[in-house]
Amino acid sequence: MTSIAQRLSVESFRQKELSVQQRLAKPDQSTFFSRVVSKIFSFDTILAATSLTFAYYVLTIESAAKEESGEALTERMCSHLVATSPDLWPKVGQFFSNIVTVAPVAAVNCWDKVELSPFRLLEVMKSAVSKGAGKFIDLYAQSNFNPNAAVSASDSQTALGLALEEGNLEVFTALLKHPDIGPDVGNLLFDAARLEDKAFLSALLAHPKIDVNAQDVTGNTPLRVAIRRKDAEVVSALLAHPKIVVNTHDTFGEGHLITAVRNDNVEMVSALLAHPKFDVNAQDELSYTPLMVAIMRKDTEVVFALLAHPEIDVNVPGLLKEAIIDGNAEIVSALLAHPKIDVNAQDTFGEVHLVMAIRYSDAEMVSALLAHPKIDVNAQDATGNTPLVLAIKRKDKKTIFALLAHPKIDVNAPDGAGEKPITAAIGSGSVEIVSAVRAHPKMKLR
């Protein structure tokens, strides 16, 4: 606690300071000012701290009078600072802010000797920029200050992070010049990707130490953040970076492409697909591919964009099945039109697409499948069902007639249990069905 005597001394000194400042307009008093500067640091820490602004006024008038150069005078003041109690050091931000223009070289030299906190660092850099102290900013890049130090013991944010937060591009760019700038650079991409001013992002991406693939605790990358925000400009900038890794997954096993698909944004999907290293068939932890997710979301636009990719796998088990179950004729038609589709492939449960469509009584899906030139109209599923016998058992007349009209139908083929179509027809109790089966030209009664 400050004693009464100390407070009186402070008040006395401040009164003298005001009196001296009134004489600043008289250059002939510069010798007196020089003597005052020398005596400032003979006072205790409190007095010295309150007198730094006055010291700056003295410094500028000395420099103007050319009795002692601004650089030399600053060096002398810095020597006093270094010899002073550490309690003074956190308070010298204003001092540095004032001298960056008058004595940039000495300011940087002094900076290296005084333990200036990152928070004060940011203040000084902002002051330097506002005053156009370009030389000081350039010299900063050669200083020994640790640019990665936290602003305070309770905050892990660095001066670079603060500059980004405050939107000061000039300071941000200046700080990036420091050769020891380190791991904070990659993490700041997340914040920069959210800003409307993309100049911060460009500055980071141009930095040689940037980790463009930095991940947060949930495995999110700057690219994933930009995809979720549907920010095409940021996505394009990140994808253009030579070190971008496009096929990473978050902690939930979701890849960038699936993230874009789940965001229902065909523009994002198309941008990702244009990158030469993207795995269009990358699966998540549930073994879903981007195409499967798009089909499940019934996003026709995205499905078409994925199907246009030359490496798309249209035969992943369950793809066509999912579209058939959803009854999405447009997507089913698009899948069936793909030159690599295996229309007769079974899913992981051994189900056949045609049999499944019949089970779901979807005449439109059955017609689409029967129209495919490679369809096997007699294929059995894992349980032995054949399309014709199953349709007869379900008394689905429209499907029965469509199957019987197919040129490759085997009207005599039994199902896995040995039951023939005619037997199933008789068992259905439908005269119309029995007549249709018996009327087929290849029907064998025995």
Total count of residues recorded for the chain? 446
Instruction: Return the axis-axis angle of helices 93-102 and 104-113, rounded to nearest 10°.
Output: 150
Give 199 or 135, the one with higher predicted confidence.
199
- What average pLDDT does range 110-120 have in this prediction? 63
Name the 3-class secondary structure at 312: coil
C-alpha distances in angstroms, 209 versus 183, 293, 376? 8, 36, 58
386/379 Cα distance (integer angstroms): 6
Backbone angles phi, psi at 407, to 5 degrees: -65, -20
- As beta bridge partners, residue 3 has none
Higher per-residue pLDDT: 357 or 139: 357
Stretch 69-91: mean pLDDT, rounded? 61
Average confidence (pLDDT) over 266-286: 93
The tens digit of pLDDT for each residue in 165-221 reads: 878 888 788 878 888 887 667 788 888 888 888 999 999 999 988 889 988 888 899
Tell me if 401 sits within 8 A of 422, measured CB to CB. no
- C-alpha closest to that of 92 among 62, 73, 120: 120
Quick check: 122 pLDDT over 90? no
Answer yes or no: is pLDDT of 373 > 60. Answer: yes
Give the rounded percent of residues in the chain with a pLDDT score beyond 90. 45
Reduce the DSSP state of residue 403 to 3 states and report it.
Answer: helix
Instruction: Compare 111 and 357 and report the one with higher pLDDT.
Output: 357
Mean local confidence (pLDDT), 285-308: 95
